[in-house]
Amino acid sequence: MLNKNLQKKVGWIELITGCMFAGKTEEFIRRLRRHSYAKRNVIAFKPIMDDRYSVDKISSHSGTQLESYPVKNSLEIIKKINELDKTKKIDVIGIDEIQFFDEGVVNLVQEFADKGIIVIVNGLDKDFKCEPFKNVDQLLVQAEFVDKLLAICHSCGSNANRTQRIVNGKPAAANEPIILVSGEEQYEARCRHCYIRPK
């Protein structure tokens, strides 16, 4: 009989997190690709609101892309998985920008992992006010594997784990509207010393 400790059970959660410009999306794509190369059935989702470059691909700032299903909420993820499950068993699920999903997504990824699926999720841990983002705050606790990636501070070159929102060339105030006409705002990675807390 096989030693119990040697029996390998599959199914867990991997969280990739950190601030902007840390290379999270590239890491996310890399991990999913490894499973695709090994002929596992991989499926990736992203919230429909992120249409930075295309509606059916996850794109990193450097241009790496991965096919993905844009969905409105966690219910649409279940629907799609159930639909696909009829023809093939899903081995790996990737969810990008998980901080923008409804909070039901946390239970959902737990259930997938319980069922033996490898769930790889990607998301920002803090908003521009340096407050925890929903879903990622929970997954930091629940995930088996957590990787917090650091960026390089755009001001001083030190290790950065914060995202500074810049509007019209200045750090944005806390009450600045969230949606602005594109081009007026940008983001910078900042270390704790260069980050200016929005008031």
Feature table: binding site for substrate: 187
Q: Looking at 156, 174, 180, 196, which residue binds Zn ion (CB under 5 A)?
A: 156
Helix axis angle for 104-114 and 74-85, nearest 10°, is: 30
State in angstroms the smallest separation of the CB of 166 from Zn ion: 14
The reply on whether position 75 binds Zn ion by CB under 5 A is: no
CB closer to Zn ion out of 140 and 194: 194
Is residue 151 a contact point for Zn ion (CB under 5 A)?
Answer: no
- Which 158-177 residues touch Zn ion, going by CB under 5 A? 158
Q: How far is CA 17 from CA 69, 123, 147, in A?
A: 21, 5, 6
Q: Which two tokens stand for residue 64?
A: 């790496």
- Indicate the residue among 146 and 150 with the shorter CB distance to Zn ion: 150
Site for Zn ion in 180-199 (CB under 5 A): 191, 194
Question: Do residues 14 and 123 lie in contact, with contact meaning Cβ atoms separated by under 8 Å?
Answer: no
Q: Does 42 bind Zn ion (CB under 5 A)?
A: no
Distance CA 139, CA 141 (A): 5
Q: What are 5's two structure tokens?
A: 């400790």
**Per the structure block, which two tokens stand in for 100?**
């923008």
Catalytic annotation, pick one of 97, 103, 144, 184: 97
- Active site positions, annotated: 97
